[in-house]
Every structure is written in structure tokens, then in C-alpha cells.
Amino acid sequence: MNVLSPEPSPMSFTDNTLLARLRQEELQVFASALERIELARGENLHEPFQPIGFVYFFESGLSSEIARNPQGKGIEVGCVGREGFSGLPLVLGVDRSPHHSFIQADAVAWRISATELHKAMEASPPLAKLLFRYIHVFMIQIASAALADGRYGVQQRLARWLLMSQDRLGNELPLTHDFLGLMLGVRRPSVTDALHLLEGKHLIKAERGLITVRDRKGLEELAGDAYGVPEAEYRRLILEA
């Protein structure tokens, strides 16, 4: 079961969970400024220290936020699907970031320029409140990633990322070994070993470029406390507010 996204609101024109929380009159404040686009796997949303062009509210797919050191080594610190949006710095009045954001799984999104979004936030306090709450949740996700990377083993961290990916994509995850290595900050052989162990426990089925979740409850038990804190904050601040 997707723990982040309820059934889309019948009053909304979008499957993005954040936008679907808004009343129709609040959506109409900026609906004309939204452009619906398709984004292919590997497409960049923003490069490090380069101007960020748009905020993207996803209806499907998966984007990844990557932190890199000066030598070019990176690790994923956050991911976004239809529960949220990419381009958070623009909402905060910042036009660029040291992070790299790109599409990991083909996506459909509504995009809007910073100028138009700021106009909408001024005109609609409920929209501004919702976006700021989501930014808080994303900050908790980044903190949880740091905690997991420093305090949990590769299997638990892999289970956590697979659960997060399943929340956004469903049971079939188009994740390559190389990307999983980027997610976990480990080399490819470590990813292969961890996948084999999870397959041996009948939690997943791993094929070339595709992972199928077979036992979500088992993944949750393996991930333990490494998974769930950002998801609980999302439910508290977005879904139940």
C-alpha cells in the first residue's frame, strides 16, 4: 500500500497529492501557469550551482536529489514522487543549489516558474503553508538518510530505499545496480550482494534494471527504524492536517 498518497481528490485535476489537498478555488489561483510535461529517465531538473528553472509537481515517476563532493562522488539524499515537488530552493527564494536533481523513473509533472509560484503563494496562504510543510518533510527525509547511512547496514538501507521507491512507483521499480549504488553510497558488488540476500529471503525479485517487491511487510521488518519517520511526518502534516 502506498503510504504517502491517498486516492486523488475528485475535485482536483491532478494526481499530485500536494495539489490535490488544495481546494478548487486555491488551485485556480495558479492553474493557468502550470504546464503539464513528460520527463524521461536521466533528464536533469537542475545542475549544481546552476539556476533552477522550474518547480515540478509530479504525477508519476521518481526524481532523485544527489549531493556530490568536489571529486564528483555522490550519494542520494532524497527522492520525490507524486507526493511532492522538486525545486524546493525556489520556494524559499533561492535560485540555485549545490545539489543535482534528475529523473530516475519516467515521470509526468506539472511545472511552474518561480515567479508565477511566488505570485500564487502571495495570493493563497494555504498554498504557501502546504509547500512549506512539505519542505519540512523533505528536510526530515534528508536527515533520515544521513542517519541511515551512518547507523544502519547495507541490507537495512537497501530495504529503506526500496520501500521509499515503492511508495512512489508501486511494486515494479526500474532501478539499476548503478543507481542503487548511488542511493546507498556503496560500490556495485555490495549492491549485488545485498540484492541477492533480499532475494534469498523472498522479499524481492531482481532482474536487469527492474526490481519487483514481493513482500512489503518483510522489507519493513528488515528496514526497522531506518524507515518511517519522514512518512509519519507527511501523514501528520499533509494528509491528516
The residues near 131 (Cβ < 8 Å, ≥ 6 apart) are: 18, 85, 91, 121
Between CA 37 and CA 24 the distance in angstroms is 21
pLDDT range class, residue 159, cuts 50, 70, 90: very high
Does domain 151-230 fall under CATH 1.10.10.10? My reply is yes
* Separation of first and last alpha carbons in the chain: 21
pLDDT, position 100:
96
Q: Is the pLDDT of residue 6 over 80?
A: no
- pLDDT digits over 215-225, tens only? 999 999 999 99
Fold match between domain 17-126+133-148 and domain 151-230: no
Q: What average pLDDT does this structure show over 166-180?
A: 93
Measure Cα distances from 27 to 62, 76, 78, 80, 105 in Å: 23, 32, 27, 21, 27
- pLDDT digits over 113-146, tens only? 999 999 999 999 999 999 999 999 999 999 999 9
What ranges do the domains of the chain cover?
17-126+133-148, 151-230
Q: What average pLDDT does this structure show over 165-194?
A: 92
When the candidates are 2.40.110.10, 3.40.50.300, 1.10.10.10, 2.60.120.10, the CATH number that belongs to 17-126+133-148 is: 2.60.120.10
pLDDT, position 13:
67
Q: Are the CB atoms for 234 and 4 separated by under 8 Å? A: yes
Q: Is the pLDDT of residue 8 over 60?
A: no
Percent of the chain topping pLDDT 90: 84
Cα angle 208, 144, 238 (rounded to 5 degrees) comes to 95
The greatest distance separating any two alpha carbons of the chain, rounded to the nearest whole angstrom, comes to 54
Between CA 219 and CA 130 the distance in angstroms is 30
| Average pLDDT over all residues of the chain | 92
- pLDDT digits over 43-74, tens only? 999 999 999 999 999 999 999 999 999 998 89
Q: Is the pLDDT of residue 166 over 60?
A: yes
